[in-house]
Amino acid sequence: MSKSESPDFNDNFCNKLTELLEWRRDVRSFKTDPLPDGILDELLDLACLAPSVGNSQPWRYVLVESAKNRKAIRDNFEKTNTEALKGYNGERAQLYANLKLSGMDKAPVQLAVFAHEETDQGHGLGHQSMPEMLRYSAVLSVHTLWLAARAKGIGLGWVSIIDAEAVKTTLEVPEEWALVAYCCIGYPEEEKNTPELVTLGWQDRLGDCRETLIK
């Protein structure tokens, strides 16, 4: 099929897409096996196909490999997690304390994902009135990466219990970059299509997540 032809997304493809969405889970327990050569580059190429405001493509991916930087960010998580625990009481606090909230110890790949908030790409289209659209665009790139990885049997965990400014300092990135995600990537220890937070009793999935208002 040439690039100018419209693709045929048949029923089988649509069913597989539904399965992919159902099996896209936030992974917290990883095998230590490295990813095959070239697969991370392939996944990042796919992530860059995500939509972006004004075609600005503001996402910036930083591969965190040095032991020094990984330790600093792991310490960052531990400190932030301890502070977050103080916000809960009673049984909820005990449940929080028992959650495994980070796959940093085993995940072979760690990526910090930033949004360039002063990029010239896109010439300001669509984000002069809503500058947050640059961050939203970077988030869409992460979601695209997440689905692409899951389709290849690879898992992704999104670490959000973290001091974003401290991550920027650790990685020495430009001031105009805003952290939108810290991702752990690797093969999951266990395959599952039920969110771990549901299994552990933290929060059930809503039966219908839609809330449609007519104005």
pLDDT tens digits, one per residue of 37-54: 999 999 999 999 999 999
Helices (H) and strands (E) in the chain, counts: 7, 4
Distances (CA, A) of 211 to 112, 175, 208: 32, 38, 8
Query: Can you give the pLDDT at residue 101?
Result: 67
The β-bridge partners of 159 are: 182
Residue with tokens 């792991």: 74
Give the residue ranges of the chain where pLDDT is below 50. Answer: none
Q: How far apart are CA 61 and CA 63, in angstroms?
A: 7
Entry field: residues in the chain: 215
Query: Can you give the pLDDT at residue 131?
Result: 93
Query: Can you give the pLDDT at residue 2?
Result: 60
Q: How far apart are CA 188 and CA 116, in angstroms?
A: 30
Average pLDDT, the chain: 91
What CATH number was assigned to the domain covering residues 26-193? 3.40.109.10
Query: Can you give the pLDDT at residue 79?
Result: 95
Query: Can you give the pLDDT at residue 96?
Result: 86
Query: Can you give the pLDDT at residue 107?
Result: 95
Domain parsing of the chain, residue ranges: 26-193
Q: How far apart are CA 68 and CA 133, in angstroms?
A: 33
